[in-house]
Amino acid sequence: MSLENVFQQENETMKPNFVGIVGGILAFVSLVLPWWTMTMSTTAMGVTVSVDLSMYPYQATVSAMGMSQSVAMSWYGWAALALVVVAGILGIVGSVTKYGKGLIAGGGALALLSIIVFAVGLHFELATLTIPGLGAFSGLGLFSSGTLTIMDISFNFTTYLSYGFWIALVAAILILIALKTQPKPAEAVPTPQPVFAPQPPPPSPEPPPPST
């Protein structure tokens, strides 16, 4: 078997699973978008002031009046980050290898686990949130709205799970769907052996001439 035939058969058995590849890419895309958002606004002396809090798996960013400040996330954010990164890698690698169903299944499970860890961790943190000097904040949740009083100033607030969270969910679904669309490895076609034409038998030796 020639080297060219070896590479040709290998390419035939490695058909990419585009559903899993897209799911893996979306897992990484979700990391650059906020997973949870809180918007607050108040009006003082005829001026409306807005404060936005965006949570990513690796940091929380507060923006107000053209300024922003970021702080590191809690354990659940870093756990979700690690799970999403591994899920994206498994989803892509499993979609371009011959026997990647196990990798794809692991990637889908980890992507789904990442959003569960983030949502559950954030829920419990919001339920027990206390800021020194301001006391406990009540009424905050994954999806909530109401009024908060901070330093005798009332803020209207709205919270919701944001784009990154839902994209990570879509990524998990696509990677799991890729289990059904994973192409089966094609059986390698054996290279036919060259057929040689039968050779005629060698000529019989001539009898020696009769002696005189």
- Give the span between the Cα atoms of 165 and 118, in whole angstroms: 9
At residue 132, does pLDDT exceed 60? no
At residue 1, does pLDDT exceed 80? no
Complete DSSP assignment for 134-180? TEE--S--SSEEEEEEETTEEEEEEEEE-HHHHHHHHHHHHHHHHHH
- Give the span between the Cα atoms of 162 and 38, in whole angstroms: 9
Domains of the chain, residue spans:
22-73+102-174
At residue 14, does pLDDT exceed 90? no
Note the pLDDT tens digit of each residue in 159-192.
999 999 999 999 999 999 999 887 766 555 566 6
Q: What is the pLDDT of residue 15?
A: 85
Is residue 207 very low, low, confident or very high in pLDDT (cuts 50, 70, 90)? low
What predicted TM-score, i.e. pTM, was given to this entire model?
Answer: 0.77
Specify which residues 48 forms β-bridges with: 43
Residues 6+ apart with CB under 8 A from 24: 87, 88, 89, 90, 91, 92, 95, 107, 171, 175
Q: What share of the chain is helix, strand, coil (3-state, %, to 5)?
A: 45, 25, 35
- Single-letter amino acid code for the residue at 127: A
C-alpha angle 160/162/166, rounded to 5°?
Answer: 120
Note the pLDDT tens digit of each residue in 41-72.
888 777 888 889 999 999 999 998 888 899 99
Q: What is the mean pLDDT of residues 81-103?
A: 93
Residues 6+ apart with CB under 8 A from 114: 57, 79, 80, 81, 83, 84, 87, 168, 172
